[in-house]
């Protein structure tokens, strides 16, 4: 093998090699960290950020994990994640089932935040959106069984706004009413008092990150009846009258009564054809 002599300054070569090693080491560590961060930066659903928290991605660029929000929380709701918790280390969160947010009017946690990770433009705690309550277990919720538990509804700081009870027919008994707790996303702050108070061993109503708790209608969807009301007239023209092929002397009522006989015409048969058929049966007995 032919060899050629390279003109290399050994000290320069050493320097370049050392520098390359250091740069590559740092780069490898950086790539490892980036991979790790991808995996650990997703917030588990049971961990709720304090009121006013920026969207998770922005929050992680802003929060320096100083814990001043934790210190100013009068109810010890907030915690800083410890290393090894499933929440990103050092960031503040709370678990509604343990201690929910008491929704202080002066929002001390937001006031304490030096970074803006908790947005100071939040001045009315009712406007905060920490998450969204969702009645996730309709099989075990007592109200779905027809009982009047109502605890989630009663403890809600925005009762009748964030949670209301919707009366529904109870098909099991046929004569009672179900009072179904319904969460309204336009008012629910995600404070978690409903989840905390749920009487079941495992809460049937839970505060979830809004991204998990809420669906979204397609942008082009319109509710026809609302549009009609807004416009004050039908939007589909002409609004033709519906034609029914009904027997003579009958009409159809839309309010729920259904088919209605206009006047009692006298026939040799009763109004129910079955009576006529069964008459012979009874006679033969």
Q: CB neighbours of 130 closer than 8 A, spacing ≥ 6?
A: 48, 49, 50, 51, 53, 101, 189, 190, 191, 192, 207
Closer of 111 and 187 to other proteins (Cβ) = 111
Q: Please identify which residue in 47, 48, 53, 70 interacts with other proteins, judged by CB under 8 A.
A: 70
Closer of 110 and 133 to other proteins (Cβ) = 110
Check residue 64 for interaction with other proteins (CB under 8 A).
yes
Q: In terms of DSSP bridges, do strands 177-183 and 163-169 run parallel, antiparallel, or are they unpaired? A: antiparallel
Q: Please, which of residues 38-57 interact with other proteins by CB under 8 A?
A: 38, 40-41, 57
CB 183 within 8 A of CB 153: no
The stretch among 82-90, 167-175, 184-192, 228-236 that binds other proteins (CB under 8 A) is: 82-90
The stretch among 85-93, 133-141, 188-196, 244-252 that binds other proteins (CB under 8 A) is: 85-93
# of chain residues touching other proteins (CB under 8 A)? 47
Closer of 60 and 187 to other proteins (Cβ) = 60
**Whole-angstrom Cα distance, residue 85 to residue 192?**
21
Taking CA atoms, 234 is separated from 226, 254, 259, 262, 277, in Å, by 10, 18, 26, 29, 48
Q: Please identify which residue in 53, 73, 88, 133 interacts with other proteins, judged by CB under 8 A.
A: 88
Q: Please, which of residues 100-159 interact with other proteins by CB under 8 A?
A: 112-117, 120
Q: CB neighbours of 223 closer than 8 A, spacing ≥ 6?
A: none
**Whole-angstrom Cα distance, residue 202 to residue 247?**
57
Burial class (CB in 10 A: 0-12, 13-18, 19+), 121: exposed
Closer of 82 and 226 to other proteins (Cβ) = 82
Annotate each residue in 1-40 with x if it binds other proteins (CB under 8 A) or - if it does not, as one string: -----------------xx-xxx-xxx-xx--xx-xxx-x
> Where are the alpha helices (H) located in 192-240, listed in sequence order?
193-197, 210-213, 224-231
Check residue 280 for interaction with other proteins (CB under 8 A).
no
Closer of 32 and 249 to other proteins (Cβ) = 32
Closer of 63 and 198 to other proteins (Cβ) = 63
CB 109 within 8 A of CB 79: no
Q: Report, in Å, the least distance between residue 208 CB and other proteins.
A: 22
| Best CA proximity match to 262, nearest among 247, 251, 246 | 251
Binding site for other proteins (CB under 8 A): 18-19, 21-23, 25-27, 29-30, 33-34, 36-38, 40-41, 57-58, 60-68, 70-72, 80-85, 88-90, 112-117, 120
């Amino acid at each position: 093998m032919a060899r050629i002599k390279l003109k290399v300054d050994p000290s320069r070569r050493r320097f370049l090699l050392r520098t390359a090693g250091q740069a590559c080491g740092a780069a490898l560590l950086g790539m490892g960290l980036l991979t790790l961060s991808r995996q650990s930066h997703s917030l588990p659903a049971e961990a709720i950020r304090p009121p006013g928290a920026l969207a998770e991605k922005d929050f992680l660029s802003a929060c320096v994990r100083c814990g001043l929000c934790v210190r100013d929380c009068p109810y010890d709701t907030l915690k800083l994640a410890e290393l090894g918790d499933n929440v990103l280390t050092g960031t503040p969160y709370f678990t509604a089932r343990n201690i929910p947010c008491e929704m202080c009017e002066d929002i001390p946690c937001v006031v304490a935040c030096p970074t803006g990770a908790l947005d100071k433009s939040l001045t009315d705690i009712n406007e905060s959106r920490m998450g969204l309550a969702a009645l996730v277990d309709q099989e075990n919720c007592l109200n779905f069984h027809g009982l009047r538990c109502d605890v989630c509804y009663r403890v809600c700081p925005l009762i009748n706004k964030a949670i209301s009870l919707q009366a529904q027919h109870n098909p099991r008994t046929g004569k009672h009413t179900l009072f179904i707790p319904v969460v309204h996303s336009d008012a629910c702050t995600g404070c978690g008092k409903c989840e905390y108070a749920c009487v079941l061993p495992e809460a049937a109503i839970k505060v979830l990150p809004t991204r998990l708790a809420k669906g979204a209608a397609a942008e082009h969807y319109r509710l026809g009846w609302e549009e009609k009301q807004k416009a004050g007239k039908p939007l589909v023209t002409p609004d033709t009258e519906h034609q029914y092929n009904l027997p003579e002397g009958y009409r159809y009522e839309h309010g729920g009564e259904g088919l209605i006989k206009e006047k009692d015409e006298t026939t040799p048969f009763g109004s129910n054809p079955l009576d006529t058929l069964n008459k012979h049966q009874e006679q033969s007995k």
